[in-house]
Structures are given as C-alpha cells and as structure tokens.
Amino acid sequence: MPTKKRAERVLEIDHQPGQNHFLNALSDDIQQRLLPHMELVPMPLGKVLYESGEVMRHVYFPTNSIVSLLYVMENGAQAEIAVVGHDGLIGMSLVLGGESTTSRALVQSAGFAYRLLGQRMKTEFSRHGDLLHLTLRYSQALITQMAQTAVCNRHHSIEQQLCRWLLLSLDRLKDNHLVMTQELIANMLGVRREGVTEAAGRLHTKGVIDYSRGHIVVTDRPKMEALCCECYGVVKAETDRLLPCRYQHKK
C-alpha cells in the first residue's frame, strides 16, 4: 500500500467521530445526516481556527486536541476564557445564530478534529431535535466555565490558577502528559511568565508535576486537586450535572 494511503488508513483507524463526546451523544439518525459531511483535519499546536470578529464558516469537534478560547485586547494582550476538547465543539456562536465572535480560537494541544460546515450544523439545529437540546446544555456548561475562569483569575493565586488549568486540560486528554511551554501557559492565564515559572517550580517541589522543556507530567493528581481552588470543582460538577448521561459512550 502506498505510504500516503497507509497514513490515511492509520488516521481513519486512530480517529473516529465517536471520540468526540458531543458527536457520540447524538442519536443515530442525526449522526447519519451529519457524519458523511465531516472532514478529519489536523490541529497543529498554535493554529488559529478563527480570530475575533472574523466570519466563521465551520464548527470543529476535537478528538484528541484542545482548543483555547481567548479574549484579545486592543493592545494585543490576551487571556483564556475557556478550553474545549473532546467534550464539545468550537463554533458555538455560529450555531446559535451569530456569524462571528469576540474571541480567538487557538490550538493549545495538538491533535485532530472533525470539521463541519456551519450551515449544515445550523440546518440540523433548526429541526428542534436532540442536537438543539444538547447544544443548549453544552452552552450552559461552557458559560459556567467562562464565568468561573473570570472569578479565578481575579481572586486566586497563580498556583491555583495553574492547577485549575492543568486539571481542565487533563480532563480532555487520554493521559497525564501535556506538551506546553511556560510562555504559552502564561499567555493563556494572562499573567507574567515568571509567575508561571515560580508556580510550576512550587508544584514540582511538592511532587505534583514533572516539567522539562515544554513537557508537563502530572504525577499526583489527587494532590493537585487538593491544592487547586474551588473553581475546577464547580466547573466539573456543573458539567456533570448538565451532561450526565448524554456523554456516555453508546454500547
């Protein structure tokens, strides 16, 4: 088999729409209408899916990548307001009737995603079926994450913010390993790089993480959860409450 076709076959095996919990939760008839129109696309680290104010054409359903939603100021400063991985989709504004958004969508952990034209998503949404109800519940969970992020960034230490950020990222990955530079983490949290370096150093000293050249391994998750502020728990509890059964994999 030619190398290109072999690589395509590997992608087909390793990445399936059902790896995205949102897609996996949809009924079979909705999947049959949407999946034939989806395209598996690479999500390299640092790729910008859309910028603030741009007209959006697609929605994305990550399988093993993570995307940060960032608010960008006029002077270029930015801060993360939410993270999306295999738990959901990127492009909620397009689905809910807007053609653009005030945030930037940036890939913070490389991988893949399924891409769908926004018009097909809106057509299914307008059927007022399962997709509409699931989208609204996911929207509420995402709004909770955004609100809690704002509170956390205002009232909690950089170490607590870093723990929250790492835990939210881990929930969207298959293992406890992240490829992420301290500079990128600082940009996500909207703090100085030196603050992240000091916080990461303290977590390393406490035996919570190992860090080397952009690779972070969480070695003691229970301790990290204990060191974290209440913000992570609030977001997780609300997400579990809103999406308790729909995100279970089908038998």
Q: How many CB atoms lie within 10 A of CB 198?
A: 14
The CATH class of 154-234 is: mainly alpha
Helix 158-170 to helix 130-155 angle, to the nearest 10 degrees? 160
Helices (H) and strands (E) in the chain, counts: 11, 10
In the predicted model, what is the mean pLDDT of residues 88-109?
A: 86
The pTM is what?
Answer: 0.86
In the chain, what percentage of residues exceed pLDDT 90? Answer: 52
Query: Which residue, 106, 117, 120, is CA-closest to 43?
Result: 106
pLDDT in tens, 137-158: 999 999 999 999 998 988 999 9
If you count them, how many residues does the chain have? 251
In the predicted model, what is the mean pLDDT of residues 68-93?
A: 87
Question: What is the domain partition of the chain in residue ranges?
Answer: 3-127, 154-234
Strand order in the sheet with 209-212: 177-179, 215-218, 209-212
CATH 3.20.20.70 fits domain 3-127: no
Give CA–CA dist 23/124, Å, rounded: 13
Does the structure show a pLDDT above 80 at 249?
no
Q: Where are the beta strands (DSSP E) in 171-225?
A: 177-179, 209-212, 215-218
Give CA–CA dist 119/32, Å, rounded: 16
Check residue 22 and give its pLDDT: 92
pLDDT in tens, 205-247: 999 999 887 788 999 999 999 999 999 999 999 888 887 654 5
Q: If you ran DSSP here, which 8-state letter would residue 96 be given?
A: T
Q: How many CB atoms lie within 10 A of CB 125?
A: 18
pLDDT band for position 164 (50/70/90)?
Answer: very high
Amino acid (1-letter code) at residue 91: G
H-state helical runs in 87-180: 92-95, 118-125, 130-155, 158-170
